């Protein structure tokens, strides 16, 4: 791992996460543990040796841990430590900056539903504490909840969820980019359970991909 060798918190932070792919690895793990092959799929273009090296560096820095899930799976996964999860606000600010100032994506740039989920975390949510919604998007599954009135998103099915919503990724993108409302999105998909809870779960997604900060004058 290269170092800036500067007594500055910014430089010391970049010593850990400034290498190419490191912050994107944190992004991939921010919604929950992932297997090595899942990380490779979530980072199109990363060479396998680079992925291994970046995981090794982040483990050494205390940002990522590797563990084996209990029976019956016995699957080895990587997940964020407390230090890794503490980078979530930085990811949110980078996302807001990118929505506001970054160049437009190229037509052939990769896109995955989980990347759009980052913009939803922490937005106001009308879901009651303990209410959950399972969101099925083609090959990916997420569970939606709330914590202190703020939206939470995790990968995987919802244990004992209140409602299951199934929709296409295109419908999700329409919702996040403000081209559809939560009611529109539910109308384009299927709902198994209480529609009111599903609506509350999807409301934080509406327009989440739009710039929320006022332009500096």
CATH (residue range 113-205)? 3.30.1050.10
Output the pTM of the full model.
Answer: 0.88
Which fold would CATH assign to domain 9-98? Answer: Arc Repressor Mutant, subunit A (1.10.10)
Q: Which residues of the chain have pLDDT under 70?
A: 211-217
* Ordered alpha helix ranges (H), 70-190: 82-85, 88-101, 113-117, 169-176, 182-188
Which pLDDT belongs to residue 127? 94
69-77: Cβ within 8 A, 24+ apart: 69/33, 75/35, 76/35, 76/36, 77/33, 77/34, 77/35
| Residue 155 contacts residue 30 (beta carbons within 8 Å) | no
Which pLDDT belongs to residue 30? 95
Which pLDDT belongs to residue 1? 72
Which pLDDT belongs to residue 158? 78
Query: What are 43-90's pLDDT values in tens digits?
Result: 999 999 999 999 999 999 999 999 998 877 789 999 999 999 999 999
Could you state, in order of their start, the residue ranges of all structural domains in the chain?
9-98, 113-205
Which pLDDT belongs to residue 69? 85
């Amino acid at each position: 791992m290269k170092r800036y060798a500067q007594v500055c918190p910014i430089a010391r932070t970049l010593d850990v996460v400034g290498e190419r792919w490191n912050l994107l690895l944190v992004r991939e793990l921010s919604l929950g543990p992932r297997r090595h092959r899942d990380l490779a799929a979530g980072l199109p273009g990363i060479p396998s040796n680079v992925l291994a090296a970046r995981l090794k560096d982040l483990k050494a820095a205390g940002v990522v841990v590797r563990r084996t899930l209990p029976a019956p799976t016995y699957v080895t996964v990587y997940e964020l430590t407390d230090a890794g999860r503490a980078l979530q606000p930085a990811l949110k600010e980078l996302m807001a900056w990118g929505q506001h100032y970054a160049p437009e994506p190229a037509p052939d740039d990769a896109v995955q539903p989980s990347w759009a989920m980052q913009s939803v975390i922490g937005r106001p949510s009308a879901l009651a504490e303990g209410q959950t919604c399972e969101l099925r998007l083609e090959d990916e599954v997420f569970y939606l909840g709330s914590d202190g009135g703020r939206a939470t998103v995790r990968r995987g099915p919802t244990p004992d969820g209140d409602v299951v919503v199934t929709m296409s990724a295109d419908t999700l993108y329409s919702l996040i980019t403000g081209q559809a409302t939560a009611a529109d999105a539910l109308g384009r998909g299927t709902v198994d359970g209480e529609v009111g809870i599903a609506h509350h779960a999807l409301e934080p997604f509406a327009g989440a991909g739009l710039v929320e900060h006022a332009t500096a004058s």
